[in-house]
Structures are given as structure tokens and as C-alpha cells.
């Protein structure tokens, strides 16, 4: 039976969990995820986990943070004065926002802290600093 290798386009079903069992993403109820192995479309550890699988095969793979979204980087935290927030905009911790850099690039951030004077914004991916556990089923090699 064929085994998935670098350069193959594959379709997989998956469920992603954290160490505490929290499900952070799943293809359940949706079409399988389609990607090209080695194409840089997904995190490196997931890409590597699918190599060698055959259609119909399932496995559970623990992906260390270095092969997922990397470590949580303190330099990605920035504090801005509350006066920089548009008037009337309500903020709450955990809220996701999109900032625009000087060159027009959109930067996703999360509100990490609030007080009367400042807002702390976190530009890290929400899963940065976490090992991920994926249940993966290779549906097909396209």
C-alpha cells in the first residue's frame, strides 16, 4: 500500500489537543484538510507526522512546541497607552484584534492585560509555548 512522502498532496482528518485534554481544533464535521507534504502549509511537526502513513491509517502524534508554533516570546508582548485605543472601543482580556504596521501589514494580537493607563497586547500565536497532541487519520493521497 502507498505511503505518504514529501511532495504528496494528502487529505487528513485530525483533532488537536493540549496536554490537559482541551481540543483546540478538529476537522470533525468538515471536509478533510488537504495539503502538500513539505509545502510549508502547516506546522512542521504535523507535516512530519504524516510522512510514512498509508491511507486509512490513524495515529496519535505529540508535536513539541519547537515543531509547532515555537516558544512563547516575551518580546512579542507590547504595552500601549490606553489613549492609543480608538475612543469608545471596548476591550477585554483574551480579545483578538488586528493591528496594521507602518508598511500596511496586518498583525494579529490578543489583549493580554488591561488597566486604566495601559493595554498589553500579545503578538504570539495563541498556541505558542505549547506542545500539541494530534489524532491524525490519513484519508487519501491525492
pTM over the 0.75 mark? yes
The topology under which CATH files domain 74-122 is Thrombin, subunit H (2.40.10)
What pLDDT band is residue 53 in, cutting at 50, 70 and 90?
very high
Q: What is the pLDDT of residue 23?
A: 97
The backbone torsions φ and ψ at residue 21, rounded to the nearest 5 degrees and listed phi first, read 90, -5
- CA dihedral sign of residues 60, 66, 72, 78: negative
CB 15 within 8 A of CB 30: no
Q: What is the pLDDT of residue 88?
A: 84
Span 109-121, pLDDT tens digits: 999 999 989 999 9
Give the DSSP letter string of 35-57.
EETTSSSS-HHHHHHHTT--TT-
Does domain 9-70+127-141 sit in CATH 3.40.228.10?
Answer: no
Q: What is the pLDDT of residue 9?
A: 98
Amino acid at each position: 500500500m502507498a505511503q505518504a512522502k514529501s511532495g504528496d498532496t494528502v487529505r487528513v482528518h485530525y483533532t488537536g489537543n493540549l496536554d490537559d485534554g482541551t481540543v483546540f481544533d478538529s476537522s470533525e464535521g468538515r471536509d478533510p484538510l488537504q495539503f502538500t507534504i513539505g509545502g510549508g502549509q502547516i506546522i512542521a511537526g504535523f507535516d512530519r507526522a504524516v510522512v510514512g502513513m498509508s491511507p486509512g491509517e490513524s495515529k496519535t502524534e505529540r508535536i513539541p512546541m519547537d515543531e509547532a508554533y515555537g516558544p512563547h516570546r516575551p518580546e512579542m508582548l507590547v504595552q500601549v497607552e490606553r489613549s492609543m485605543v480608538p475612543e469608545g472601543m471596548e476591550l477585554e482580556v483574551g480579545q483578538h484584534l488586528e493591528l496594521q504596521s507602518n508598511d500596511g501589514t496586518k498583525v494579529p494580537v490578543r489583549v493580554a492585560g488591561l488597566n486604566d493607563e495601559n493595554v498589553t497586547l500579545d503578538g504570539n500565536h495563541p498556541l505558542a509555548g505549547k506542545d500539541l497532541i494530534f489524532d491524525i487519520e490519513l484519508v487519501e493521497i491525492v
